[in-house]
Amino acid sequence: MKKALKYSLISVLALAAVLLCAGYYMLGFALKPEALASRSRNIAASLEYMHQTYPEVGKWIDSLQTAGALYDRYIENAEGTPLHALYVPAADSTNRTAVIVHGYTDNSIRMLMIGYLYSRQLGYNILLPDLYGHGLSGGTEVQMGWKDRLDVLLWTDEANHLFGGNTQMVVHGISMGAATTMCVAGEVQHGVNQQPFIKCFVEDCGYTSAWDEFKGELKNQFHLPSFPLLNVASALCNMEYGWSFLEASPLKQVKKCTLPMFFIHGDADTFVPTWMVHPLYEAKPQPKELWIVPGAEHAVAYKENPEEYTRKVSDFVSKYIH
């Protein structure tokens, strides 16, 4: 009997050790991917990517750099981490402003096509943050938009100050930046987070929650169920970084937002599956609009439909920003 209990205890401890190791591996794989160094932190490669992928945007970036009109800005978040953003004042003085939020392992440079839309085509001031752990900002891990929401709120205050203190602002994000945008949207009308200058939001292919996104990737990449690995990794995330995968929920956040929001999602998106936009849209109180982009995979709606994307975004924001 004692031997059986001993072997059972050893088996339980061995299983716990395996799960702990697997949980830490998943946490590192998800929140400290190699692409943070090779892609997000590589500024030269990001500029080259923009020139190759969006030639007109590349020419615009060159013209801004030549004129000294592409500015860097640094602030610190509540934890004392330095954060970086790019900003461009409008060519003609205006209070119309866009804060533009990049996705997973991207950076501010890789969102300059949306910067081009607002600055060059719509005449807005623009500010593009590097999220925590990305680009030229401090930090070592991805926050999946959750703690990022607080940093982006700081950036909206900074943008309002930079561009005259009486701005009318849209927050526009793609992928994880869209999740961040939705998380921001749940904060701006509540408690201490009163940003009356924010008038509307655009979210392009954001996920319902970090849990749902990682659950899908576990199935698609590793053919594994969510339990128990995702539960362990989420608990470790809470211990290490102070937030859990379930807590990081744009779906819960949009329920609290009564400001206008434009939802964009490709109907061929499998990375953030198209189904996710429907519960997000249903959860969001009016006013809201939805555009399902035919044939678009993940985060390519603008790339493949630049004129229509620009027109639809322009039509939406012009209803609320004048």
Q: What is the pLDDT of residues 180-237, one digit of tens each?
A: 999 999 998 765 557 899 999 999 999 999 999 999 999 999 899 999 999 999 999 9
The predicted structure's pLDDT at residue 249: 98
User: Is 254:261 a contact under the CB 8 Å cutoff?
Assistant: yes
User: Is 180:149 a contact under the CB 8 Å cutoff?
Assistant: yes
Question: pLDDT at residue 126 above 50?
Answer: yes
Running DSSP on this structure, what letter comes out for residue 206?
-
Q: What φ, ψ does residue 178 adopt, rounded to 5°? A: -70, -40
- 143 C-beta neighbours (distance < 10 Å), count: 25
Q: Which residue has the higher pLDDT, 3 or 282?
A: 282
Superfamily of domain covering 32-209+248-317: Alpha/Beta hydrolase fold, catalytic domain (3.40.50.1820)
Scanning the structure block, which residue is given the tokens 């009564």? 258
User: Is 250:209 a contact under the CB 8 Å cutoff?
Assistant: yes
Of 179, 147, 187, 149, the residue nearest 263 (C-alpha):
179
**Dist CA 154 CA 148 (whole Å):** 10
Question: pLDDT at residue 10 above 80?
Answer: no
The predicted structure's pLDDT at residue 19: 78
**Sequence-distant (≥ 6) Cβ neighbours of residue 95 within 8 angstroms:** 125, 163, 164, 166, 167, 168
| β-bridge partners, 169 | 97, 198
The predicted structure's pLDDT at residue 80: 97
What's the angle, vertex CA 276, arms to CA 178 and CA 203, rounded to 5? Answer: 20
Q: How far is CA 267 from the centre of its chain?
A: 20
Give the helix ranges, DSSP H, for the chain.
2-31, 35, 43-53, 55-67, 112-116, 148-162, 176-185, 210-222, 229-241, 250-254, 277-283, 301-304, 306-317
For residue 182, give the amino acid letter: M
Q: What is the pLDDT of residues 41-60, one digit of tens each?
A: 999 999 999 999 999 999 99
- With a pLDDT cut of 90, the percent of the chain lying above it is 89
What average pLDDT does this structure show over 309-314?
98
Please state the pTM of the whole predicted model.
Answer: 0.95
**Dist CA 180 CA 188 (whole Å):** 13
At 248, the pLDDT band (50, 70, 90 cuts) reads: very high
The predicted structure's pLDDT at residue 8: 54
Q: Which two tokens stand for residue 110?
A: 């890789």
Instruction: Return the SS3 of 75.
Output: strand
Q: What is the pLDDT of residues 56-83, one digit of tens each?
A: 999 999 999 999 999 999 999 999 999 9
- As a whole number, the mean pLDDT across the chain is 94
Q: What is the pLDDT of residues 83-118, one digit of tens each?
A: 999 999 999 999 999 999 999 999 999 999 999 999
At 14, the pLDDT band (50, 70, 90 cuts) reads: low
Please confirm whether the linkage preceding 287 is cis (ω < 30° from 0).
yes
User: Is 252:240 a contact under the CB 8 Å cutoff?
Assistant: no
The predicted structure's pLDDT at residue 12: 43
Instruction: Return the SS3 of 168.
Output: strand
**Sequence-distant (≥ 6) Cβ neighbours of residue 105 within 8 angstroms:** 33, 35, 36, 39, 40, 134, 142
**Sequence-distant (≥ 6) Cβ neighbours of residue 236 within 8 angstroms:** 20, 23, 24, 27
Question: pLDDT at residue 238 above 60?
Answer: yes
Q: What is the pLDDT of residues 159-177, one digit of tens each?
A: 999 999 999 999 999 999 9
